[in-house]
Amino acid sequence: MQETRLDTARIRAARQVIDPIFLDTPLYRCEALEPALGCMVSIKLETANPVRSFKARGTEVVAGLLAGSGSPAVVCASAGNLGQALAWSGRGRGLDVTVVASRFATVAKLDRIRALDARLELVDGDHELARERAADIARRDGIRLVEDSLDIETCEGAATIGLELAAAAASFDAVLIALGGGALATGVGHVLKACAPGVEVICVQPLGAPAMTRSWRGRRVVTTDSTDTIADGVAGRRPIAAVLDDLLLVADDAVLVREASITAGMRMLLQHAGLVVEPSAALGIAAILEDRERFAGRHVVTIVCGSNVDMDAYHRWVGAAPPP
Amino acid sequence: MQETRLDTARIRAARQVIDPIFLDTPLYRCEALEPALGCMVSIKLETANPVRSFKARGTEVVAGLLAGSGSPAVVCASAGNLGQALAWSGRGRGLDVTVVASRFATVAKLDRIRALDARLELVDGDHELARERAADIARRDGIRLVEDSLDIETCEGAATIGLELAAAAASFDAVLIALGGGALATGVGHVLKACAPGVEVICVQPLGAPAMTRSWRGRRVVTTDSTDTIADGVAGRRPIAAVLDDLLLVADDAVLVREASITAGMRMLLQHAGLVVEPSAALGIAAILEDRERFAGRHVVTIVCGSNVDMDAYHRWVGAAPPP
């Protein structure tokens, strides 16, 4: 295949600097989900770790490099999971971490960022405004800006999931990957195309935040004016050209799913798999629900990429009243 | 120490016959739980696998031996998790599996046993009646009876958790272990006493099913006439003498907790850790809640041993209405 910005040898090297607590996550068949979905389903579970998402794989790489180079400070924009992960990775290495987020971000994510001793700055706008503000801070203070999906370390960290999937790839046919900025999709996709080219790489995005999927389909960056989805972790409006270029090389498809399918997916993961997941982590199940025929009889892996939710909203989404 | 029925070399060997999908489960610090508990808390998560409990570690050992010896059939009594695990392990090895359970058992557990192609026989009584019936079937049909906690393979399988904990034992002070028949407690306890004797081994049982704890305290088998707890996985009335003997050698303490503490523990694991757990898996958190002073400032590991729940009951326990 044509070359992406990623390099499999570097991804293997990334494993060496990531705290093992984030590696070799559970990958297991969940038969209880299968009657309702009409296909074999395995779960790659990225939530059983100190930050409850896959993002620390990337921030471990970034923070390791920064600590090694003596750079004391770092800033990122985040919908919450990257910020929490960077706070965790930075704290352990004595870094001064600033996270910029939308004031509309998931409260539980913001609370955890603060609890991990990061400086949290809120902007009165969406994630794209947070990205601008983080870049301003980096320029002003002369510190490292971590740009999710653009910075190669974030892709390489996510790509270590691909190595773990590739090791088991003989048993499955397709991987469903939540698509936001693209680090997860390009990272995992790169490794699978390199090491397990028979596996179909399918990206899934909400209809309410379709910018990267439309860009992939149009083979050029397409932005949107707004987003309208509960899947906060993937709600970007301005895809990054370099990431799109990689995605065009490694994704076999990119599909859009409805909000009702996302909540149905969350409900199924709770009821049949006993898993609390955030909306972005239910995108894969949503994609199966919307196109059962495509997956009928096949073995599909879905990456459960995060579980950071506000419980009131979660109970509303899955149809249960919140605790009193 | 005096010798239990377990042998650390055999436990290491057991790892070789257990499907890796059940081994090396996540062990991670969960800081979000800590402000409410007043101590450092790490979770050993035994639910992210095809049967959602630790029990398959033991049934893999049993089924491996049976398949190797050409024995085609096996029967066990179970509150649900052992049966589900034996059904899973037996199916993969072509064994004919019969599970005897109480007709009052958790419906989700019974459904999964059936879905895994096991023969399910229900008795009109509690788990102790199921044990008698399973023994009758084994005698009648001349097949292997798997007796949880008595059969050394069930203890050895559970003990492999102890090996994984011992490898990380330098970082923590105590382990909280759900106490039912005793396989988990004696297995994990044996390894910790052998390999990490500085770690306190604390067993936790519901006040409503206190037989083994009373037996441990009295140093002789104490039975009860009934049980009254939502923690179905540990609700036994007749402790096994040989298991008690082992427990006396490896447990530093055995404590009883109230039902309200168990549901509070389940609620905390949901709200702060994003984990759905069955009541037995919340016993450790319940023990901390009931004796904060004892654990203050210490680092405690709690084994989250299962997540098989009926969702309606679960929502009732954690205080949320069930989905419509």
* Residues A233-281 pLDDT 10s: 999 999 999 999 999 999 999 999 999 999 999 999 999 999 999 999 9
pLDDT at B323: 47
Which of A146, A163, A179 is the endpoint of a domain? Answer: A146
What are the chain A neighbours of B50 within 8 Å (beta carbons)? Answer: 28-31
Starting at the edge strand that comes first in sequence, how are the strands of the sheet with B253-257 ordered?
B27-29, B40-45, B299-304, B174-178, B200-206, B253-257
The answer as to whether B2 is a domain residue is no
CATH code of residue B268: 3.40.50.1100
Q: Based on the domain organization, do A204 and A180 belong to the same domain?
A: yes
- The tokens describing B100, both together, are 């005897």
- Cross-chain Cβ contact B318/A323 below 8 Å: yes
Q: Tens digit of pLDDT for each residue in B269-281?
A: 999 999 999 999 9
Using CA coordinates, name the residue in chain B closest to A313: B271
Q: Are A173 and A302 found together in one domain?
A: yes
% helix, strand, coil for chain B, step of 5: 50, 15, 35
Same domain flag for B85 and B224? no
Edge-to-edge strand list for the sheet holding A200-206: A27-29, A40-45, A299-304, A174-178, A200-206, A253-257
Give a yes or no: residue B323 inside a domain.
no
In whole angstroms, give the CA distance from residue A151 to residue B87. Answer: 47
Q: Are residues B216 and B115 in the same domain?
A: no
Distance from CA of A276 to the nearest CA of B (A): 6
Which residue matches tokens 């009295």? B218
The H or E element that residue A100 is part of is strand A96-102
Pick the last residue of a domain from B102, B121, B146.
Answer: B146
Query: What percentage of chain B carries pLDDT values higher than 90?
Result: 96
Q: Please report the pLDDT score of residue B170 as a whole number.
A: 83
Give the list of residues 6+ apart from residue A158 with CB closer than 8 angstroms, or none: A54, A57, A58, A183, A184, A186, A187, A188
Residue A309 lies in a domain: yes
Please tell me the predicted confidence (pLDDT) of residue A169: 84
The yes-or-no verdict on residue A324 having pLDDT over 50 is no
Residue B70 has what pLDDT? 85
Is residue A47 located within the same domain as residue A141?
Answer: no
Residues A163 and A140 placed together within one structural domain of the fold: no
pLDDT at A323: 47
CA distance B265 to B306: 14
From first CA to last CA, the distance across chain B in angstroms is: 55
Residue ending a domain, choose from A98, A115, A146: A146
Q: H or E segment at B299?
A: strand B299-304
Bridge-based pairing of strands B174-178 and A144-146 is: unpaired
Tell me what pLDDT residue A314 has.
97
A276 CB neighbours in chain B (<8 A) are 270, 274-276
Q: Is residue A296 part of a domain?
A: yes
Rounded to whole angstroms, what are the CA distances from A94 to A153, B30, B225?
19, 20, 58
- On chain B, the residues whose CB falls within 8 A of the CB of A323 are 267, 271, 318-320
Question: Does any domain span residue B73?
Answer: yes
Q: Report the percent of chain A where pLDDT is more than 70.
A: 98
Can you give the pLDDT at residue A321? Answer: 52
Q: Is B130 exposed, middle or buried (0-12, 13-18, 19+ CB in 10 A)?
A: buried
Give residue A37's pLDDT: 98
> In this structure, what are the phi and psi dihedrals at residue A179, rounded to the nearest 5 degrees?
-115, 115
CB pairs under 8 A between A and B: 80
B135: number of Cβ within 10 Å:
15
At B58-88, the pLDDT tens digits run: 999 999 999 989 889 999 999 999 999 999 9
My answer on whether A196 and A239 are in the same domain is: yes
**Can you give the pTM of this predicted structure?**
0.97
Residue A270 belongs to what domain range?
A: 8-53+152-318
Mean of pLDDT over chain A: 96
For residue B17, being part of any structural domain is answered with yes
Same domain as B14, residue B90: no
Residue A60 lies in a domain: yes
- Rounded to 5°, the CA angle B319-B322-B324 comes to 150
pLDDT at B162: 98
Query: Could you tell me which residues of chain B have a Cβ less than 8 Å from any Cβ in chain A?
Result: 21, 24-32, 43, 45, 47-50, 52, 112, 115-116, 267, 270-271, 274-276, 307-309, 311, 315, 318-324
Q: Can you tell me the mean pLDDT for B218-246? A: 97
Q: Is A205 a member of any domain?
A: yes
Beta bridge partners of B1: none
* Bridge partners, residue B255, by sequence: B204
Q: What is the ipTM of this complex?
A: 0.96
Whether residues A81 and A203 share a domain: the answer is no
Number of helical (H) and strand (E) elements in chain A, helices listed first: 14, 10
What are the backbone angles phi and psi of residue B98, rounded to the nearest 5°?
-115, 135
> For chain A, how many structural domains are there in total?
2
Is there a contact between B65 and B153 (Cβ–Cβ < 8 Å)? Answer: yes
Query: Based on the domain organization, do A194 and A222 belong to the same domain?
Result: yes
Cβ atoms within 10 Å, residue B197 = 12
| Minimal C-alpha gap between A66 and chain B (Å) | 24
Each residue of A6-32: pLDDT tens digit? 999 999 999 999 999 999 999 999 999
pLDDT interval class at A70 (50, 70, 90): confident
DSSP for A261-316?
HHHHHHHHHHHHH-B---GGGGHHHHHHHH-HHHHTT-EEEEEE-B----HHHHHH
Indicate if the pLDDT at residue B320 is higher than 80.
no
Are B195 and B275 within one domain? yes
**Shared domain check, A61 and A33:** no
> What pLDDT shows up at residue B169?
84
Q: What is the pLDDT of residues B289-318, one digit of tens each?
A: 999 999 999 999 999 999 999 999 999 999
